[in-house]
Chain A
Amino acid sequence: GQQVMQIPQYQHVQEGEDFTTYCNSSTTLSNIQWYKQRPGGHPVFLIQLVKSGEVKKQKRLTFQFGEAKKNSSLHITATQTTDVGTYFCAGGAGSYQLTFGKGTKLSVIP
């Protein structure tokens, strides 16, 4: 079945440093979504990418979808303590369900 690999599993950064998490799918995706889970919370939708090579920005967050629609990345510029949490990518392949990566847990040291 479809697999979505996400790296790194953990990332510790100093406040103000940049952060990137990467996702790779074993199959071509129809769309990819990103979710954020704050400590003690539940996953919350951030954004969806659909087109090959698509790039979207939300303030300090930049999301990319690869040309082959098999990989994606989330980059945070100048991290803040409010960015702490686990970031999940989730790939869709034309069905009802999403396949989630295992997530990257981001810690920000003030």
Chain B
Amino acid sequence: DVKVTQSSRYLVKRTGEKVFLECVQDMDHENMFWYRQDPGLGLRLIYFSYDVKMKEKGDIPEGYSVSREKKERFSLILESASTNQTSMYLCASSLTSGRRADTQYFGPGTRLTVL
């Protein structure tokens, strides 16, 4: 079974802090994704990566950056956390199937609260 793990289930940070969220997958997937989930807004894509050191902006990249130095690890960075970044953050990974987007496997999520 695919396993996607995230570094923390719950995180509390202060406004202005730099925040790192880590995601690791163990199935040699090429693609990795970061979403945030808010009530009534569904899953919104922040960034994704289709290869090591490659990244693409999603729908809401402002205030975030990412890093992928190794295939299995994808980090989300909040350069200066703000209260409107309080949310559930979900990481996902998938294989590259070529012609179409493949199944995504999600981690358990990190609930981030910014005070």
Residues in A lying within 8 Å of B, measured CB to CB: 1, 6, 9, 30-31, 33, 41-45, 48, 50, 88, 90, 92-98, 100-103
Contacts and interface: CB of A to CB of B under 8 A. Distances in A.
B101 A101 contact: no
B50 A96 contact: yes
A88 B92 CA distance: 15
Interface residues of B, number: 25
B94 interface: yes
For the complex of A and B, the 4 pairs showing the least CB-CB separation, nearest first, are: A92-B101, A102-B42, A42-B106, A100-B43
28 contacts: A1-B59, A6-B42, A30-B100, A30-B101, A31-B100, A31-B101, A33-B101, A41-B108, A42-B90, A42-B107, A43-B104, A45-B105, A88-B42, A90-B104, A92-B100, A93-B101, A94-B99, A94-B100, A94-B101, A96-B31, A96-B48, A97-B48, A97-B101, A98-B104, A100-B43, A102-B40, A102-B41, A103-B42
A33 B45 CA distance: 16
B99 A30 contact: yes
Q: Which of A42, A50, A96 has the most CB of B within 10 A?
A: A96
Nearest to B58: A97
A48 B103 contact: yes
A53 B94 CA distance: 26
A44 B100 CA distance: 19
A33 B94 CA distance: 13
Nearest to B31: A96
A97 B100 contact: no
Interface string B45-62: 100101000000011000
Contacts of B109: 42
A43 B100 CA distance: 20
Q: Which of B33, B35, B50, B106 has the most CB of A within 10 A?
A: B106
Nearest to B2: A45
Given A96-B31, A97-B33, A45 B104 contact: yes
